[in-house]
């Protein structure tokens, strides 16, 4: 991707992410992919519109001017009190400066995995769900030791040791087989050591999805029709269900 600006003899590139409260986040990195500075700052107590973010006050004014000249970022409140403190994102232009696609990295065998010798799959994907479908087909067809889905240098999904781990910001969920899921609940009921340390897991059972949330130590269990529903429940649905 091309740099968003050149500043002080450095080419600066954009990386996109999100804060724990799901607000948009932007980083400025140099040609070596090293952090130059945060472009955005998280102010959770202040209201922002969709696609709006607060600009890090450390960003020099002349750099802000250069960034606004790209038209990727727009400021609509140029008053003396809040001049350039917030910005809106032009999504149509943003894609010229940031790689927001999903990539698959593969480790063929345990030896390759231990050696860190993986390779990037030839195709990229516009959305996570499509990438996940391809990953699951690849692991079933070729029995790879490990596979990851990566977006903006962040691992969103990892298959290894016959488990699928989904990473959602600061939370993670593990998809396991039915036998391990049953063993987890049995061991909890018997007050024995759990077979895995994860607190939020689910499995597919007879065409439905069974979620287990042990993050409070109470081992709540519930059944759902779709994978999306069980993941959303594990990510913080307020209603709790007891075994």
Residue 173 near residue 202 (C-beta atoms within 8 A): yes
Judge if pTM exceeds 0.75.
no
> Is it the case that residue 22 has pLDDT exceeding 80?
no
C-alpha 25 chain-centroid distance: 12
List, in order, residues 6 or more apart from 98 with CB less than 8 Å away: 1, 14, 15, 16, 152
Q: Indicate the domain borders of the chain.
A: 5-94, 102-161, 179-234
Q: Residue 231 — φ and ψ, nearest 5°?
A: -65, -45
- The predicted structure's pLDDT at residue 66: 92
Nearest to 15 by CA among 174, 145, 24: 24
Residue 125 near residue 99 (C-beta atoms within 8 A): no
Higher pLDDT, 128 or 20: 128
Interval 29-42: pLDDT, tens: 999 888 999 999 99
Interval 165-184: pLDDT, tens: 999 877 899 999 999 999 99
Kind of pairing, strands 146-151 and 102-107? antiparallel
Helix runs in 151-196, H state only: 178-189
> Is it the case that residue 46 has pLDDT exceeding 90?
no
Upper half-sphere CA count for residue 194 (Cβ side, 13 Å): 16
- How far apart, in whole angstroms, are the C-alpha atoms of residue 155 and residue 127? 14
- The predicted structure's pLDDT at residue 240: 43
């Amino acid at each position: 991707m091309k740099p968003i600006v050149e500043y002080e003899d450095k080419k600066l590139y954009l990386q996109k992410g999100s804060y724990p409260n799901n607000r948009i986040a932007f980083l400025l990195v140099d040609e070596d992919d090293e952090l130059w500075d945060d472009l955005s700052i998280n102010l959770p107590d202040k209201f922002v519109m969709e696609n709006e973010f607060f600009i890090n006050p450390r960003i020099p004014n002349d750099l802000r001017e250069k960034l606004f000249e790209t038209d990727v970022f727009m400021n609509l409140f140029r008053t003396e009190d809040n001049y350039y403190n917030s910005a809106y994102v032009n999504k149509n232009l943003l894609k010229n400066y940031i790689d927001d696609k999903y990539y698959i990295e593969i480790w063929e065998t345990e030896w390759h995995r231990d050696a860190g010798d993986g390779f990037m799959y030839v195709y990229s994907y516009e959305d996570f769900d499509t990438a996940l479908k391809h990953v699951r087909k690849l692991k079933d067809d070729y029995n790879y030791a490990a596979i990851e889905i990566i977006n903006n240098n962040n691992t969103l999904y990892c298959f290894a040791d016959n488990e699928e781990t989904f990473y959602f910001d600061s939370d993670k969920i593990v998809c396991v087989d039915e036998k391990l899921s049953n063993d987890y609940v049995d061991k909890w009921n018997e007050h024995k050591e759990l077979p895995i340390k994860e607190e939020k897991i689910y499995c597919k059972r007879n065409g439905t999805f069974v979620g287990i949330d042990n993050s409070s130590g109470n081992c709540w269990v519930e059944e759902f029709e779709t994978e999306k529903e069980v993941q959303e429940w594990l990510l913080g649905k307020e209603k709790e269900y007891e075994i």
